[in-house]
Amino acid sequence: MAKNNSGLYYKKDKKAQIYKKVDVSQPGYKPKYVYAPRSPSLLWCYSAQLSQEGVYMAHAYGDDETRLFVFNYDAKVEFDQLVLYRGVWYLITRVDTKDDYNGELFVYVKNAVGGKIPSEGEICEYNPSYWEE
């Protein structure tokens, strides 16, 4: 069988979830935030650790990117949102789209640390109203 070298578009064999920090505080009370998932189930994606050259180039521009995700999903994904992949939290540093209008999002991330990782009590159930603009 010939190996298919058609690119990363056909290697969507992994699943991850995108989370958005949402302010749900009541007026007059202290701020309260929850992390809302992008969809009710995990999203299919391609994921790869950046090569040493890619990590070095990101450092040259002041970024700490360590991994790339490609989601075939037309969603509003922004800088500073989170990706949960195989139990590890990543912070989105950059989002690119391809010029061929296929709806694929190239999401570059770095390892989330410290206060950026939500506690279990801060993660809420899927609610589409949290993602409406």
Pick among 2.70.98.90, 3.40.50.720, 2.40.37.10, 2.40.10.270: CATH of 12-115: 2.40.10.270
pLDDT at residue 85 in the model = 93
The residue extents of the domains of the chain are 12-115
| Interacting residues of 51 by C-beta distance below 8 A, sequence separation 6+ | none
Burial (CB count <10 Å: 0-12, 13-18, 19+), residue 60: exposed
> CB of 69 within 8 A of CB of 4?
no
First to last CA, the chain: 47
Using alpha carbons, select from 107, 65, 59, 102 the residue that is nearest to residue 83. Answer: 107
Angstrom distance (rounded) from CA 18 to CA 78 = 10
Q: What does each of the 133 residues of the chain score in pLDDT, given as a tens digit?
A: 344 444 554 455 789 999 999 999 999 899 999 999 999 999 888 888 777 676 666 666 666 787 888 887 666 788 889 999 999 999 998 888 766 656 778 888 998 888 889 999 999 999 999 887 6
At 35 the pLDDT is: 95
At residue 44, the pLDDT reads 87
Q: What is the pLDDT of residue 91?
A: 94
Which of these, 75, 83, 84, 70, lies nearest to 130 by C-alpha position? 75
Which structure tokens are listed for 111?
């390892």
What does the pLDDT read at residue 62?
Answer: 62
pLDDT of residue 10: 47
